[in-house]
Amino acid sequence: MTLRRALVTGATGGLGLALCSALREAGYDVRATGRNEAQAARLTDMGAEFVRADLLEGDLAALCRDIDVVFHAAALSSPWGARLAFQRINVDATRNLLKAARGCGVGSFVFVSSPSIYAAMKDQIGLTETSPLPERALNAYAATKREAENIVLAADAPDFRTVSIRPRALIGPDDAVLLPRILALVSRGWFPLLRDGRALVELTDVRDAAQALVDADRNRERAGGKAINVSGGKPMEMRELVGALGDALGREIALRPLPMWLAKAGAGFSETLFAVLPGKPEP
User: What domains does the chain contain, in order, with CATH numbers?
Assistant: 5-168+206-232 (3.40.50.720)
Q: What is the pLDDT of residue 273?
A: 56
Q: How far apart are the first and last CA of the chain?
A: 52
Q: Is 61 helix (H, G, I), strand (E, B) or coil?
A: helix
Q: What is the pLDDT of residue 120?
A: 80
Q: Rounded to whole angstroms, what are the CA distances from 190 to 83, 184, 185? A: 34, 10, 7
Q: Rounded to whole angstroms, what are the CA distances from 163 to 42, 59, 110, 132, 150? A: 27, 24, 5, 19, 10
88-101: average pLDDT? 97
pLDDT, tens digit, for every residue of 130-188?
999 988 888 999 999 999 999 999 999 999 999 999 999 998 888 888 888 888 887 78
The C-alpha atoms of residue 263 and residue 268 are separated, in whole angstroms, by: 9
Q: What is the pLDDT of residue 65?
A: 96
The C-alpha atoms of residue 138 and residue 78 are separated, in whole angstroms, by: 12
Q: What is the pLDDT of residue 189?
A: 82
* Burial of 273: CB neighbours in 10 Å, binned 0-12, 13-18, 19+: exposed
pLDDT, tens digit, for every residue of 232-261?
888 888 888 888 888 888 888 888 887 776
**Does the pLDDT value for residue 1 go beyond 80?**
no
Say which residue, 208 or 279, is predicted with more confidence. 208
Q: Is 250 helix (H, G, I), strand (E, B) or coil?
A: coil
Contact 238/201 with Cβ under 8 angstroms? Answer: yes
Q: What is the pLDDT of residue 222?
A: 97
Q: Calculate the average pLDDT of the chain.
A: 89
pLDDT, tens digit, for every residue of 195-234?
888 888 889 999 999 999 999 999 999 999 999 999 988 8
Residue type, 204: T
Q: Is the pTM of this model over 0.85?
A: yes
Q: Rounded to whole angstroms, what are the CA distances from 216 to 47, 59, 125, 230? A: 22, 26, 25, 11
Q: How many other CB atoms are found less than 10 A from the CB of residue 182?
A: 17
Q: List the catalytic residues.
A: 141
Burial of 80-103, coded b for 16+ CB within 10 Å and e otherwise, reads ebeeeebbebbbebbebbbebbbe
